[in-house]
Amino acid sequence: MIETLPDIALPTLAPFDAIIDVRSPAEFAEDHIPGAINLPVLSNEERAEVGTIYVQDSRFRARRIGAAHVARNVARHLETALADRDAKFRPLLYCWRGGMRSNAMATILLQIGWRAGVLAGGYKTWRRAVVAALFDDPSAIDLVLIDGETGAAKTEILRRMATLGVQTIDLEGLAAHKGSVFGADMARPQPSQKMFESLLFNELRRFDAATPIVVEAESSKIGRLNIPKRFWMSMRAAPRLTIRADAAARAAYSVRNYADFIQAPGEVDRAIERLRPFHPKETIDEMLALSAAGSHAALAEKLMRDHYDPLYQRSQARRETKSVGVVALENLDSDDLSRAARAAAALIAASSRR
């Protein structure tokens, strides 16, 4: 008998060895439960074919052809992705919502002897939970923001705080973007908006709601992705811990931190051109000249002085949220960043006890 799982609560997922998304690769690419593996029972083309026959020709014929595709694809998965699973393997399967595709594969796995489960409502159950948590819930999330001027190594400090046991969410890591016109990740594209929301929800649901979660201060968009409404409203009201460092140290760190972007042909100049609506022609031309000369530290300092620092100062003038404290950096080397992470963690812990 197929075990039907009614929801995606963490304790109910714990007994399963793997979460298998049996939808087509295109459906999986748009969004899926984080950590799931994609073992489609119908390819993109097969799904389109069966759907067309179902609507335009015969439901019986569509089901017969679909069943043949499913049988062949499940056989292939058994001979490849699932070939090394032992007799105790316990997978959880899901499809879009109706359960036809997931139940078809689960039935075969049960015949092998594996205790296969199916998520009731499929992906739609997961998506409803994401929307409820990130958009519908009116309560505030207990957040603390790591704030500071561009180049102050806020993301790296956040990551080091995580190793100290602090609850943190790396929004830029989830979004695959550093949050500026120079922030594109050269190694991976940004996820879809729905996938970003799934990743964020998956982080949130693992944490203790009674303990603050530390995130980096961001605008409402990271690259092309929007921060979900509930999370963004919580960020706007959250207390802030400020990281400070002088412009020269921040410029040197930025050159190191953006090395992959700098090395990508033409990317720096394209990013500078996107700033043209905000600055006089002479300023943009000077930036382009520094880029052409390979003077990246000088370019980074000019960008901070003329663009990023003024933006930060204007945003600070509009903020009325509580300050948790200030951590000053010296040279932004590894020891300096570890010290800052410890100091930030101590200040946040002290603030939460008050």
95, 134, 214, 271: the catalytic one is: 95
Q: pLDDT band for 11, please (50, 70, 90 cuts).
A: confident
From the list 160, 177, 153, the residue with the least C-alpha distance to 254 is 153
Mean predicted confidence (pLDDT) in 255-263:
89
pLDDT at 87: 96
Residue 12 has pLDDT above 70, yes or no: yes
| Pairwise CA distance, residues 62 & 45, whole Å | 14
Angle at 261 between CA 258 and CA 264, to 5 degrees: 150
| Pairwise CA distance, residues 125 & 214, whole Å | 28
Residue 353 has pLDDT above 90, yes or no: no
Mean predicted confidence (pLDDT) in 119-128:
95
From the list 287, 254, 292, 135, the residue with the least C-alpha distance to 198 is 135
Angle at 271 between CA 265 and CA 277, to 5 degrees: 150
| Pairwise CA distance, residues 172 & 165, whole Å | 19
Residue 32 has pLDDT above 90, yes or no: yes
**End-to-end Cα separation, the chain, in angstroms:** 53
Residue 354 has pLDDT above 70, yes or no: no
Q: What is the mean pLDDT of the chain?
A: 93
pLDDT at 196: 98
pLDDT at 109: 97
User: How large a percentage of the chain has pLDDT more than 70?
Assistant: 99
Q: In the annotation, is 193 catalytic?
A: no
Q: Which domains, ranges and CATH numbers included, belong to the chain?
A: 3-131 (3.40.250.10), 139-353 (3.40.50)
> Using one digit for the tens of pLDDT, what is the confidence trace for 185-237?
878 899 999 999 999 999 999 999 999 999 999 999 999 999 999 999 999 99
pTM for the structure as a whole: 0.92
233 near 140, Cβ under 8 Å?
Answer: yes
Residue 6 has pLDDT above 90, yes or no: no
Residue 315 has pLDDT above 90, yes or no: no
| Pairwise CA distance, residues 143 & 216, whole Å | 10
Residue 183 has pLDDT above 90, yes or no: no
